[in-house]
Structure 1
Amino acid sequence: MPALRTRPWRHLAGRPWWRQDRGATALDMSMVVPLAFLLVFTLIQGGIWFHGRSVAHHAAQQAVDAQRAYDAAPGAGEAAADAFLARMGGSLKGAVVQVSDDGDTVSVAVEGDVINLVPGWSGHVRQSVQAPVEKFRP
């Protein structure tokens, strides 16, 4: 009967068994932390991309509003978009504003690049807005 009372973990008694996995936490962290950083930076990159997209859309809307006004000067839309982009503090790098006015409709396209935090990802945004030209009809 005394043989049944032996403990199965008896072979661990007398030696520091918890030290045999020394360095396992550092190894686990070296695998998990880069993945966590990639996830966090991808979420931040998504927010930056949506912000850049919103800035491009608002710049295009400002340009359309300025260009479609009654008796607007030929470069009013592009100047309004450039002024808006300057106020936004460089949210879009290399922003290009294209204004086309066919007499009845004004179309504006704004495109540029946002800051990249995730390597290998292209942060190019393009937004366009169009509206009819205001005309005076007696």
Structure 2
Amino acid sequence: MRRVRGWTAAIRARAHGDQGDTSLQMAIVFPVVILMTVAVVQASMWYYARNIALTAAREGINVGRGYQSSPSQGAARARETLDRIGGDSLHGAGVSTDGSTADTVTITVSGTALSMLPFVPGLHVSQSASAAREHWTTP
């Protein structure tokens, strides 16, 4: 019984000596947790904007590579897709057909992903798709 009393007295003494220790630990750890959370959300927003740009470029390629289609028709389809699914996730989005030749069509979609912090600029996103043009050939 004396051992139990001595043990509980030691726990009480230790507990009274650590007053405010938890608050100090939280003051150190909490900003790190918040920063990590913001970083994960920011990375997710960049990834989502990247997927939007790639989807628009692929949609444009599907139209632009068709028989008797032009790269400008593919670019118009990419802009249409951006308007439909891009919303506010990809700011300043632009569509380019630079790099297209007589045999291939290349569509590049670029823009800026949203930023979680108002004083930090968004991350640049650029995705391109390229495919061979369809031609009529005789066997």
TM-score by length of 2: 0.77
Matched residues, percent identical? Answer: 33
Q: Report what 1:110 is aligned to.
A: 109
The Cα of 1:64 is off from its aligned counterpart by: 1.2
When the two chains are superposed, the root-mean-square deviation of aligned CA atoms in Å is 2.9
Q: Take 1:98 and 1:74, find their aligned partners in 2: how far apart are those partners?
A: 9
Report the count of equivalent residues.
Answer: 131
Task: Decide which structure has greater helix share.
Answer: 2
What residue ranges of structure 2 are gaps of 5+ in the alignment?
none
Matched, 1:97 2:95: yes
- Cα deviation, 1:89-119, whole Å, max 9, x if unaligned, reads 2321111110133211111111111111267
Of residues 81, 86, 92, the one that matches 1:84 is 81
Per the alignment, residue 127 of structure 2 pairs with 127
Residue ranges of structure 1 left out of the alignment (5+ in a row):
none
Query: For 1:31 and 1:76, how far apart are their aligned partners in 2?
Result: 56
**TM-score scaled by structure 1?**
0.78
Q: 2:109 aligns to what SS in structure 1?
A: strand
- Give, in whole Å, the separation in 1 of the partners of 2:136 and 2:57: 24
- Contact persistence 1:85–1:91 (CA under 8 A): no
